[in-house]
Amino acid sequence: MEPLLLFPDPAPPVLAQSLDLGGYPWKAAATADEAAAIEPEDGWAGAVIAADEDPEGAFALCRALRKRDVPLEPVLVLVSGAQLADLELREDLFDDFCLAPLQPRELEARLKHLFWRTGRGTRPELVEYGPLVLNLETYQAGIGGRPLDLTYMEYELLKFLATHPGKVFTRETLLSRVWGYEYYGGARTVDVHIRRLRAKLGEEHANLISTVRSVGYRFGQPKWSL
């Protein structure tokens, strides 16, 4: 996927973080000239313009993107509530908008819709379960829009569990499937990593990984069948 163009430069931290977790590559620019100078050979995948801090500069860039020989789309703008009344006058400059303060899940949903509608861009392979997102290409993980700082094996364990929601695995199975048959560590290795994962998920989400007494561990809700 080609990168998204972001405004302003430097990009707002929450916006940059949300795009990173969603697997969207991006580059930031402060002006149309800067955007043209750093534009990839195959063009931009789209643009996300934060207009809440510098609306004049933001909409000037939107206008320039629309006046190109081939107008850039999709363009998503982030605006404050006070700017809503003026959006109708500028609706030709963008394809959709989000309200500030930014909600990462809303941004993700709107970008998905825009790319589906325009048929542009391909998304990286993600594993999503409720508030949890794992990017299988970049090895990044996030929960509720918050990045998770995981070690390699913590990530691999969480990925394995999250790709088999509702299933119960013994410690021995997890050792062989995640660590490999040649790993000689004991079952306590699994317990330690599960404990660390729960701590990093936070109290609100620690119950995503439940202990099944005398058996092992399960991610997510059990699947009931008759």
pLDDT single digits (tens) 68-109: 998 998 999 999 989 988 888 898 999 999 998 888 878 888
Q: Are residues 113 and 26 in the same domain?
A: yes
Q: Are residues 172 and 97 in the same domain?
A: no
The mean of the pLDDT values for the chain is: 88
**Residue 13 domain flag:** yes
Q: Are residues 93 and 23 in the same domain?
A: yes
Q: How far is it, in rounded angstroms, from Cα 159 to Cα 176?
A: 15
Q: Which of 94, 118, 142 finishes a domain?
A: 118
Q: Are residues 14 and 110 in the same domain?
A: yes
pLDDT of 224 strictly over 60: no
Q: Are residues 110 and 136 in the same domain?
A: no
Q: Which helix (H) or strand (E) holds 97?
A: strand 96-99
Q: Are residues 15 and 52 in the same domain?
A: yes
**Mean pLDDT along residues 2-9:** 94
Q: Are residues 34 and 57 in the same domain?
A: yes
Q: How far is it, in rounded angstroms, from Cα 102 to Cα 80?
A: 10
pLDDT at 226: 42
Q: How many angstroms separate the Cα of 43 from the Cα of each of 8, 11, 32, 40, 197?
A: 19, 19, 14, 5, 39
Backbone torsions φ then ψ of 204, nearest 5 degrees: -65, -30
pLDDT band at 124 (very low <50, low <70, confident <90, very high): low
Q: How far is it, in rounded angstroms, from Cα 124 to Cα 23?
A: 6
| Residue 14, amino acid | V
pLDDT band at 144 (very low <50, low <70, confident <90, very high): confident
pTM of the model: 0.60
**Residue 204 domain flag:** yes
Q: Which domain holds residue 67?
A: 4-118
How do residues 23-63 score in pLDDT, each as one tens digit? 889 999 999 999 999 999 989 999 999 999 999 999 999 99
Domain count, the chain: 2
Q: Are residues 154 and 97 in the same domain?
A: no
Please state, as a whole number, how many other Cβ atoms lie within 10 Å of the Cβ of residue 195: 12
**Residue 83 domain flag:** yes
Q: Are residues 112 and 8 in the same domain?
A: yes
Q: Are residues 8 and 109 in the same domain?
A: yes
**Residue 224 domain flag:** no
pLDDT band at 225 (very low <50, low <70, confident <90, very high): very low
pLDDT of 199 strictly over 60: yes
**Residue 226 domain flag:** no
pLDDT at 138: 78
**Residue 62 domain flag:** yes
Q: How many angstroms separate the Cα of 83 from the Cα of each of 2, 52, 90?
A: 30, 8, 11
Q: Are residues 23 and 51 in the same domain?
A: yes
Q: How far is it, in rounded angstroms, from Cα 156 to Cα 174?
A: 10
pLDDT of 159 strictly over 90: yes
